[in-house]
């Protein structure tokens, strides 16, 4: 029996979604500046995305010193009193920040399945968040060492693998050789788990753009530097970059964003791009 086209096309789509798990995508934002800035206006605008989608959680990780401060909840950011408190009390003061809005695929909405995640390695606290598909093959193909996930999210599994590989390689400081190695390692992961991700060690912001979907883009921007007293804005201007998924709502009128090409890793430090890879072969 041949199914009518009007039935066949939706059926194929449903099967594709069920098998591949790539229909759901989250949203992602990161910043790297040369001075501490007040990130509340950016986060306030970013969280509005969750008024219509990405309803299964939100999180933010930022560095006020060498450690990461993380707030997250398995509810829409637009409805979160905690998120509103962070904005109202102006608590998001940092040079580096990673924010995430979740649309759940693998792993039910819960605190432990909500991005970003953090782990300590060699006295450095890493944070990571991810957008892309969800593929359960990651548990079979991506092996873990000393780092283990606390939840069921395959992106956390991938984060634990990345840190395990950094530990195994013995990376103590990041340079062009280490950046190239990280790029190749993440590219291999992308063959199993479609991913665009933001990763930070509190000094660098690593941004990898998927080879398949959900690529990232960035823009250079100036913002008022945060005051030393922690309350007001300082007299200086901070210069840096904002990184986001292609469907973001952060652009100013007439502002041109630069795509991080699919399969590329870009690394930012103190608001400047210090590394950009070639696509993995």
Catalytic residues: 26
CB 241 within 8 Å of CB 32: yes
Coil, strand or helix at 179? helix
Closest by Cα among 138, 105, 136, 119 to 26:
105
User: Which residues does residue 33 pair with via DSSP β-bridges, in sequence order?
Assistant: 240
**Torsion of the alpha carbons at 26, 31, 37 and 41, rounded to the nearest 10:** -30
Give the whole-angstrom CA distance, residue 77 versus residue 208: 24
230 phi and psi angles, rounded to 5 deg: 85, 0
Closest by Cα among 255, 257, 238 to 246:
257
DSSP state of 54: -
Summarize the chain as % helix, strand, coil (round to 5).
Answer: 25, 35, 40
């Amino acid at each position: 029996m041949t199914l009518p086209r009007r039935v066949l096309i939706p059926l194929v789509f449903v099967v594709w979604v069920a098998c591949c798990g790539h229909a759901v995508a989250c949203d992602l934002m990161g910043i790297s500046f040369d001075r501490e800035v007040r990130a509340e206006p950016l986060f306030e605008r970013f969280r509005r995305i969750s008024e219509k989608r990405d309803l299964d959680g939100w999180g933010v990780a930022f560095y006020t010193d060498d450690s990461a401060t993380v707030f997250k909840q398995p509810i829409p950011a637009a409805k979160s009193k905690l998120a509103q408190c962070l904005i109202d009390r102006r608590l998001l003061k940092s040079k580096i920040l990673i924010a995430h809005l979740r649309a759940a695929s693998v792993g039910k909405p819960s605190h432990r399945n909500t991005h970003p995640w953090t782990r300590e390695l060699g006295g450095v606290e890493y944070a990571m968040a991810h957008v892309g598909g969800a593929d359960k093959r990651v548990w079979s193909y991506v092996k873990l060492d000393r780092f283990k996930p606390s939840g069921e999210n395959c992106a956390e599994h991938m984060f634990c693998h990345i840190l395990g590989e950094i530990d195994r390689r013995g990376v103590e400081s990041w340079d062009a050789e280490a950046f190239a190695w990280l790029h190749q390692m993440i590219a291999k992961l992308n063959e199993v788990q479609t991913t665009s991700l933001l990763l930070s060690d509190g000094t660098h912001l690593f941004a990898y753009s998927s080879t398949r979907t959900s690529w990232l883009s960035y823009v250079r921007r100036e913002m008022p530097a945060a005051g030393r007293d922690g309350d007001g804005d300082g007299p200086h201007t901070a210069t840096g970059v904002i990184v986001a998924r292609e469907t973001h709502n952060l652009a100013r009128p007439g502002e041109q964003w630069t795509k991080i090409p699919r399969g590329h890793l870009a690394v930012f430090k103190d608001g400047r791009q210090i590394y950009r890879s070639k696509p993995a072969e």
